[in-house]
Amino acid sequence: MIVSHDQKRYFIRLESGKELHTHRGVMQHDDLIGIPWGSEIQSHLGINHYLIEPSLRDVLLHIKRRSQIIFPKDIGYILLRLSVGPGQTILEAGTGSGALTTAFAWIVGPDGKVISYDRRPDLQELAHQNLQRLGLEGRVEFRIRDISEGFDEKDVEALFLDLPSPHLYLPQVRDTLSNSGRFGVILPTTNQVSALLEALTRHDFDLIDVCEIFMRFYKPVAQRLRPTDRMVAHTGYLIFARPVFPMADHLDNSQDVNEKSST
């Protein structure tokens, strides 16, 4: 990533013989290959820039998109609530442009797997291209399917839905989640959240949380530190829940086990 002193960012893959053309001048890839991250560089116009290794946040904010993406401020909390880590298998539905898919693939590492469902092959193709830019495509399996038909996987530890009507698919979610598996959803409006909350109760989910995350930056100038003129406010409601088993189900299961043992 090349960053100007006024924070303009250019994302490129360095290749010998190529050039980066900007209104601040031209930079030769060959002049950048092999120099340390953090180095100050100049365009042919003498304008200074930095060569910076991009963070996951940088990548997600500049991902190619055809649909609204989940923002980094939400993705960070989603990763925590779903307890995503290296070597895990994570399931999602609603691939979209692949921002969350990319974050999942980044975190699960080379030994993990992300399985992503969507009905639109064009969006999954874009998500695949975004993953290829980072060399993460081998960590993701795509499924082109309406999840009303169910998921292929069973006993999944974490599942996330980015769909307009997630309340319609809770039977399929329960069928694929492991006992007490981690479940998350993002929705843009309160009426969608209300429909989901009612359905979660009907389908024996509990430990339900609903939240939204706001982020405000400050001008990083010591002599006049103050909030910036804009903040990242509402981008979606996050809902998290866990599947549970009512006591009646526990008793029925225990009785079945005892009867089988006695015979």
pLDDT number for residue 116: 97
| CATH value at residue 16 | 3.10.330.20
Residues 6+ apart with CB under 8 A from 68: 96
For residue 109, which of 138, 80, 68, 150 has the smallest C-alpha distance?
A: 138
- Pick the last residue of a domain from 54, 69, 97: 54
For residue 183, being part of any structural domain is answered with: yes
Co-location of 108 and 162 in the same domain: yes
pTM of the shown model: 0.82
**Contact in structure between 205 and 241 (CB atoms under 8 Å):** yes
Range of the domain at 87: 57-252
| Tens digit of each residue's pLDDT, the chain (263 residues) | 898 877 788 888 888 999 898 888 899 999 999 999 999 998 888 889 999 888 888 888 888 887 778 899 999 999 999 999 999 999 999 999 899 999 999 999 999 999 999 999 999 999 999 999 888 999 999 999 999 999 999 999 999 999 999 999 999 999 999 988 999 999 999 999 999 999 999 999 999 999 999 999 999 999 999 999 888 888 899 999 999 987 765 555 555 555 555 55
Same domain membership, residue 31 and residue 143: no
Tally of domains within the chain: 2
Is the residue at 261 inside a domain?
no
Are 32 and 149 part of one and the same domain? Answer: no
Last residue of a domain, one of 54, 75, 91: 54
**Gyration radius of the chain over CA positions:** 23
Q: How far is residue 249 CA from its own chain's centroid?
A: 34
Give a yes or no: residue 227 inside a domain: yes
Cβ count within 10 A of residue 207: 12
CATH number for the domain spanning 221: value is 3.40.50.150
Domain annotation covers residue 260: no
Residues 127 and 217 in one domain: yes
pLDDT at 246: 78
Task: Give the pLDDT score at 232.
Answer: 86
